[in-house]
Chains A and B, each alone.
Chain A
């Protein structure tokens, strides 16, 4: 007889082939979920901590389901008994199954590691860079999770060999899985340790933790082996004492109904209900207990007192409750609800609708009871026991919707996969994902609630539509069409409205885009602008800003002299040595304020040459800054240069400044202010380069357009409630289009000015893009009222400088005023010459 390698090889081949589909399906589903989740997280601009758990769900699910596939499924299909009829020792069957599943678990951890690595790859910056699965876990926690997953695996083997039903064995894993924690906690309580290695415990506690885990694995393996030997060996006869004795429950049983004279149920659905309850009472009872415990835990979780006291335990119970609801859904189409058993009803012409309803009545009743219990505890009992705090209490409708989605998706999974082991593993994962997706669609994609309810009903509708074929055990292409159609609807319907909004979003034609890009590419770049910074002088800020002590401090200030070129410097050099500058509002604001202060000083002492010289220094410095800001490739710097130029224009137009106009610095300043062409050219270059950098991602921040935070558009000052398309997760798609449209408008504004065309339509366009058409154009920064007063620099103008809106001051009346200044100079020169 070939007892050795041949048998082992055959068994190893068989177990591998049985595990392969589970490994592939879990890896595929895991990859799909990770990709989808990452896609969602990228759009939500936030780290999605739930997603961190996704890759780790794979080994966890495998460890729970491996025994169900290798043993439970074989028991259900009775192939285990055929295997038992072959001449091979039961121990060999047991150990090869266990070894194969352990190898499978190692592979699953490998897949998990690959997914973690994949999610880390290519994300080094930006919001999406925060999306790194498992990054939060320490190495010790990885090891702990891995070792614990092996413990869960052997628990699964024990329960599956021990219990007849796969469902019962899966339920049995839950209490067993926490046994090591209880032991560790008990030892920890005795020695004042924390729980587990990730809580920063001592080396000793880590040793004890792993010792307990390893001992648990050994113990559970021994128990599993014993159960397997019992299951695969000859069945022991019942003891004569047991055979003759009455069951303890016998006296409590009702007397037998006389079935010949009574028909207990008149309606077929009532019979189906009876069948649903009785075909696996203990399993149903256990699932119900899980759900009710989860519900109670959920109610207490709404109270901060309980969260701080037993948050972890309550969370675990809530999760178990949700898994219970998923398994309740699976329960609908397993056992007597499986296709092979329902064939009995199909052969007797039972209505698929009635059977479908009969399969769901018990499950939905249990879910409804759980919801009622939640309402009772959360809204009736607990408020009387605990004082109301600022707690987040999920509404009954929310809880109903979550439980409904879990049940709905799980029963569909059960009907589709038909393998109990697989559906019990897949159903909770798919339920969590669907619930998250629909919730995300409602909250982030602004999907209407009625649509959410309709979509959540699709899985139920799918199983109802497939019921006849399911009962006939005839799954044709129609079933696949219904399934794929329903999946497609659930995934795509929430995207329709955002997609339409994206499609309707303003954009430029390909021809214009190509033309602009070519133009941008050909534009000359100066050196990257260096930031102009303010070198704070002790006490100076406070003197200006702190009004109560301003007068007192002003007296001190008046005793001091400030060199503007010392106060404002680029890093490591003077302004003159830098080809291009950039400036932020934190620097621009004090510059204007201090220059104003100097202006006041000059106005108060017009004949004081010292003050006049100081004023000259300020103006010359500001002119130098403007010239270098104009060489900056950042759009923002052009607008900041506008603010300085407006201030200078006003200063030069001021009558108190007439005496200085003949000086060289004033002439140079007026010449600069009046040079509209140079300003337009600088603006054009900055817009083109800013847009080009944004398009080609030369700028590392994808949310920046020439220094403007384009991801904050539209302007949040004027429009705190933005339209859906700006806040929805499709923002990354809209973002480049918005930037493109804004840049194009900026360039067209320059062109319109050069060609003498009206600019207001383009301003209105910018208003619609950046502020929103719902807002009044009249009071918009681009609107006529603000533009009419744009020749003044006052506190509100400085506020505009903080604003994230480009080109507000472009081609406004101040530029005409600046031109007029130059003309005025020419006129006065001519007058002088004539004189």
Chain B
């Protein structure tokens, strides 16, 4: 299968920071691909490279089988792009900017744009400068979608949108993916991403820490809580097939976020002297993201009655397994 986006050993270095370090990425067509990362992780740099605004220090990229460095116009014809702060001509009216952008695409652009604007209930004769932040975001989205691009690249797309529009927008992303179009978005709204994304990638300090389907990701990562007699007791070493993303101690509890942990590994802990019991919990995407990027889930809630927690977590675990 041809990937819509492919990057190979993509590296972008600036004086004083490394934005991307050997990023290898493949985006399947007909999916909603979410790129997550903290501020300064390199998401926008990645998007700028993919849209042909920035040449990388090394490595290569391909978007819709086009090299954005060699043919940025080709890329821009086939993708729709909305930056995190779209700067539209504020002296134009909503209608005029549609007409203006249509002159670059032709075809069905203008009717499609007009339809989108009417759907968002934005008056066509109003100047961009007189629109609210949310309305501007809607105009920018309408402009990027009007030529029905095979790939939509969005940088913080729902910022400024009200909840209703946000929901509609996210659902339309799912519809686009279902129609065989691809959506590549970067966002901080992880709960929203979780609702629509097929594939998740986490960029941390310029490195791609994770890139896999969301379902697979959520299935593979759990939080294991180990109750101990003595907090100083050393835990057993896990098999190499697993990856411990973070380990924290809260009183006589040890919490670990582990990837590819299987239930038969509980015995490794329970067989150890001083271990009172273990429990596991499925993590939401937000906590997975934090575990990957921060190495800690933060000061968790103190669990004063471990027995109850074990019971509760066990329920969650069993539920998850079910």
Contacts and interface: CB of A to CB of B under 8 A. Distances in A.
Interface string B68-83: 1100110011000101
Interface of A: 1-2, 6-7, 9-11, 13-14, 17-18, 77-79, 81-82, 84-89, 233-238, 240, 242-243
B95 interface: no
A85 B103 contact: no
Contacts of B53: 81, 84-85, 234-235
A237 B56 contact: yes
B103 to A, nearest CB: 3
Contacts of B106: 1-2, 6
Contacts of A242: 15
A235 B105 contact: no
B250 interface: no
A235 B69 CA distance: 10
A88 B57 contact: no
B91 interface: yes
B100 A13 contact: yes
B166 interface: no
A85 B83 CA distance: 10
Given A236-B55, A237-B12, A238-B14, A86 B101 contact: yes
B72 A243 contact: no
B15 A238 contact: yes
Given A10-B101, A235-B55, 12 more contacts: A2-B106, A7-B103, A7-B104, A14-B89, A14-B100, A82-B88, A82-B89, A86-B101, A234-B53, A234-B68, A234-B72, A237-B13
A87 B75 CA distance: 8
B51 A87 contact: no
A694 to B, nearest CB: 55
Given A2-B105, A9-B103, A79 B88 contact: yes
Interface in B225-269: none
Nearest to A81: B87
A238 B53 CA distance: 14
A815 B12 CA distance: 110
A238 B105 CA distance: 33
Contact of A87 (B13, B76, B86, B88): B76
Contacts of A237: 12-13, 54-57
Interface centre among B56, B89, B99, B101 (most CB of A within 10 A): B89
Given A79-B88, A85-B51, A234-B55, A2 B103 contact: yes
A231 to B, nearest CB: 11
A243 B57 CA distance: 11
B134 interface: no
Nearest to A82: B87
A774 to B, nearest CB: 61
A639 to B, nearest CB: 70
A17 B105 CA distance: 21
Contacts of A233: 72
Contacts of B48: 235
16 contacts: A2-B107, A6-B103, A11-B103, A14-B92, A85-B81, A86-B104, A87-B105, A233-B72, A234-B68, A235-B48, A236-B55, A237-B12, A237-B54, A240-B57, A243-B13, A243-B15
B114 interface: no
Contacts of B277: none
Contacts of A2: 103-107
B30 interface: no
B90 interface: yes
Nearest to A247: B15
B83 A87 contact: no
B172 to A, nearest CB: 21
Contacts of B206: none
A243 B16 CA distance: 8
Contact of B69 (A17, A87, A234): A234
Contacts of B73: 87-89
Interface of B: 12-15, 48, 51-57, 68-69, 72-73, 76-77, 81, 83, 85-92, 99-107
A459 to B, nearest CB: 27
B12 A88 contact: no
B106 to A, nearest CB: 3
Contacts of A6: 102-104, 106
Contact of B87 (A14, A79, A89): A79
A238 B18 CA distance: 12
A243 B54 CA distance: 16
A234 B90 CA distance: 25
Interface centre among A13, A85, A237 (most CB of B within 10 A): A85
Contacts of B88: 79, 82
A285 B17 CA distance: 29
B77 A79 contact: no
A89 B77 CA distance: 11
Contacts of A236: 55
Contacts of A7: 103-104
A355 to B, nearest CB: 25
B2 to A, nearest CB: 21
Contacts of B68: 234
Contact of A234 (B14, B54, B57): B54
Contacts of B55: 234-237
Contacts of A79: 87-89
B11 to A, nearest CB: 9
Given A79-B89, A237-B55, A86 B14 contact: no
A380 to B, nearest CB: 48
A434 to B, nearest CB: 29
A81 B85 CA distance: 11
Contacts of A238: 13-15, 57
Contacts of A84: 53
Query: Sorted from nearest, which 7 A-B pairs have the closest CB atoms?
Result: A2-B106, A10-B103, A78-B87, A87-B77, A6-B103, A237-B57, A87-B76
A243 B11 CA distance: 13
A86 B105 CA distance: 8
Contacts of B76: 85-87
Contact of A235 (B54, B103, B107): B54
B105 A77 contact: no
A82 B136 CA distance: 13
A211 B47 CA distance: 47
A522 B235 CA distance: 128
Given A14-B89, A79-B87, A88 B69 contact: no
A13 B103 CA distance: 11
Nearest to A76: B87
Nearest to A17: B91
A18 to B, nearest CB: 8
A77 B87 contact: yes
A250 to B, nearest CB: 11
A256 B40 CA distance: 23
B87 A10 contact: no
Contacts of A240: 13, 57
Contacts of A88: 73, 104
A69 to B, nearest CB: 12
B178 to A, nearest CB: 26
Contacts of A89: 73
Nearest to A5: B103
A87 B103 CA distance: 10
Contacts of B101: 10, 86
A13 B100 CA distance: 8
A82 B88 CA distance: 7
Contacts of A13: 100
Nearest to A4: B106
A143 to B, nearest CB: 36
Interface centre among A7, A237, A240, A242 (most CB of B within 10 A): A237
A79 to B, nearest CB: 5
Interface centre among A2, A17, A87 (most CB of B within 10 A): A87
